[in-house]
Amino acid sequence: MTESESVVYRVVPKCACSTIGQIMYYSDHGQFFDGDIHDAKSGMHKWAMDESQEPISRNVQAHGSYAFTCVRNPYTRILSSFFDKICGIQRNGKRYRGNLVPLLVQKYGIEVGGIDGKQEFDQIASFRRFLLFARDTIRWRRPMDPDIHWSAQSGHVSTFIVNGGTYDKIVWTERFNDGMQDVLDAIETRHPVALADIPRFNESEGHGPKRAHPVEDYFDDLSMHLVREIYKRDFELFKYDMDNPANKMPVSEIDLKEVHAKLGE
């Protein structure tokens, strides 16, 4: 939530969250946070900060401000998670979650492009093996609990509703400027935000190897079956094409009433 309480945003990992955080910061302060917005310890309210929990709870339960979230096509989101979190070297110069990648190499036969993530490897075969691992974590919580970067978006979105929140807007990453403009048009900001001039703060960019093939090449029948099994609700609620990984665009409008009804149970 912005310090001014102009707007509340429910973060969904791998869905333009760095850019959205910086836009919110800019709208209050007239400048961007110097660094990764995830590292900011002041200048905005975050649930992870103890002193922010009371103002966020009060605002959300009273629907005191415009509230929104942002979602992404499940096919491209899981693919992005693989290249960023599994193949990539993180901001601290280390592998994500320490022993996670060695575990995947050993148990699932995944390759990640060598020590620095820059060697050639069979991206398609490794991604499909990673998908099995992601399914195992989500379905059976083995060999570990699911990670926020590949757990279903509907799970992230639902906690806000279950705790008394109401969304005014769900933005699609694929139509980001249109959706974010709707948000900005609906709120009062201390500093005007010209979306066309906002850079994309893709903090995961450059962490891992570049994707070598079109999205659809990574998904055969089995992979598509796994993705449907894991993310069926995401496809249905956020209106993405379950049957065609090549089509990253939404296929119809999101029904906010449906989202609140199904995720508020």
Closest CA to 14 of 64, 67, 88: 88
pLDDT at residue 204, as a whole number? 61
Q: Which amino acid is residue 13, in one-letter code?
A: P
CB 199: neighbour CB atoms within 10 A?
A: 8
CA angle 188, 193, 194 (to 5 degrees): 135
**Residue 225: which residues within 8 A CB-CB, separation 6 or more?**
none
pTM over 0.85: yes
Tell me the CA end-to-end span of the chain in Å, nearest whole number: 25
In a structure prediction context, what are the per-residue pLDDT tens digits for the chain, which is 265 residues long?
Answer: 999 999 999 999 999 999 999 999 999 999 999 999 999 999 999 999 999 999 999 999 999 999 999 999 999 999 999 999 999 888 788 899 988 999 999 999 999 988 877 789 999 999 999 999 999 999 999 999 999 999 999 999 999 999 999 999 999 999 999 999 999 999 999 999 999 999 888 766 666 788 999 999 999 999 999 999 999 999 999 999 999 999 999 999 999 999 999 999 8
Residue 240 burial by Cβ neighbours in a 10 Å radius (0-12, 13-18, 19+)? buried
CB 182: neighbour CB atoms within 10 A?
A: 15
pLDDT at residue 207, as a whole number? 66
pLDDT at residue 119, as a whole number? 84
Which H or E run includes 7? Answer: strand 7-10
| Three-state DSSP class for residue 9 | strand
Tens digit of each residue's pLDDT (9 = 90 or more) over 55-104? 999 999 999 999 999 999 999 999 999 999 999 888 788 899 988 999 99
CB 262: neighbour CB atoms within 10 A?
A: 15
CA angle 228, 142, 130 (to 5 degrees): 50
Distance (Å, rounded) from C-alpha 48 to C-alpha 33? 18
CA angle 135, 249, 203 (to 5 degrees): 65
Which single residue is written with the structure tokens 């974010």?
180
DSSP 8-state class, residue 236: H
